[in-house]
């Protein structure tokens, strides 16, 4: 029994000295530095905590290792200055890259709708759709909105918002992806309609197209007219990092 206990202790000791793989070790050191920087910026960092078990153990364990393994790995690299220098330079490169990403300034949010912003129908077109054609600015969130009133006297059929994302291809119509479709009530009340869509890196759409107000013709009434009001049209772009 005593021999078994000795073997268990020896095995546990050997296991604790298993080195953490280089890439994981670099990741742990990077996170420890970031954690230290965060607490310092918040005014709650204590220099005595640096490299202590309570302060950094949660980072080591989150990567699936024990503090004894981390301590042994640090000791191993300390005895091999050239290898430790390689690790240090890699950590600093990671930190510099993160700092570069954080410091990059995004373009400010911007309004992309440059067309007319107030329509009275039928004065601005008794049967015409109110078209949209907006050039996109790449990734980020797009907030699309408008205020629309359809009067009960409107004689068109199924008035609706119908917008889509668009990019060109070899066809005449291009590639389309529905952005916003909504049927509109004819109750004479002014409603504010709003939707948001985020475009991620890799998307190839270049425009928002379609109609702020579209309807089907009324074949039962040859003299039909639209009676509606549209105002405060907006396509707002909010840049984001991904």
Per-residue pLDDT of 77-123, as tens digits, reads: 988 989 989 998 998 888 888 777 666 677 889 999 999 999 999 99
CA dist 81 → 10, 87, 216 (Å): 29, 10, 77
3-state secondary structure of 128: coil
b/e map 35-58, b = 16+ CB within 10 Å: ebeeeeeeeebeeeeeeeeebbee
Quote the pLDDT of residue 241: 76
Query: What is the CA 72 to chain-centroid distance, rounded?
Result: 40
> For position 166, what pLDDT does the model report?
96
Residue spans of the domains in the chain: they are: 9-103, 110-238
**For residue 102, what pLDDT is reported?**
64
The rounded distance, in Å, linking the Cα atoms of 44 and 166 is: 51
- Of 1 and 92, the structure prediction assigns the larger pLDDT to 92
Residue 235 CA to residue 100 CA, distance in Å, equals 30
110-238: which CATH architecture? Sandwich (2.60)
CA contacts within 13 A on the Cβ side of 52: 8
C-alpha–C-alpha distance, residues 78 and 137, integer Å: 50
The answer to pTM > 0.75 is no
Contacts of 102 (CB under 8 A, 6+ apart): none
| Model pLDDT, residue 54 | 55
Confidence tier at 226 by pLDDT (50, 70, 90): very high
């Amino acid at each position: 029994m005593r021999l078994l206990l000795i073997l268990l202790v020896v095995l546990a000791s050997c296991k604790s000295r298993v080195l953490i793989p280089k890439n994981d070790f670099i990741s742990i050191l990077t996170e420890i530095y970031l954690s230290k920087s965060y607490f310092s910026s918040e005014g709650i960092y204590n220099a005595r905590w640096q490299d202590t078990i309570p302060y950094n153990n949660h980072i080591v364990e989150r990567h699936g290792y024990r503090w004894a393994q981390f301590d042994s790995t640090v000791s191993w690299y300390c005895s091999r200055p050239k290898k430790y220098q390689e690790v240090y330079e890699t950590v600093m490169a990671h930190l510099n890259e993160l700092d570069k990403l954080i410091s990059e300034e995004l373009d400010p949010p911007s309004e992309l709708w440059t067309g007319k912003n107030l329509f009275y129908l039928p004065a601005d077109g008794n049967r015409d759709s109110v078209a949209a054609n907006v050039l996109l600015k790449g990734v980020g969130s797009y907030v699309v909105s408008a205020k629309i009133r359809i009067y009960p006297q409107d004689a068109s059929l199924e008035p609706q918002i119908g917008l889509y994302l668009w990019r060109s291809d070899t066809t005449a119509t291009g590639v389309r992806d529905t952005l916003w479709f909504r049927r509109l009530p004819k109750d004479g009340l002014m409603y504010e309609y709003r939707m948001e869509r985020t475009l991620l890196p890799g998307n190839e759409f270049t425009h928002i197209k379609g109609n702020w107000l579209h309807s089907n013709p009324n074949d039962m009434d040859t003299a039909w007219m639209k009676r509606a009001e549209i105002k405060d049209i907006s396509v707002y772009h909010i840049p984001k990092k991904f």
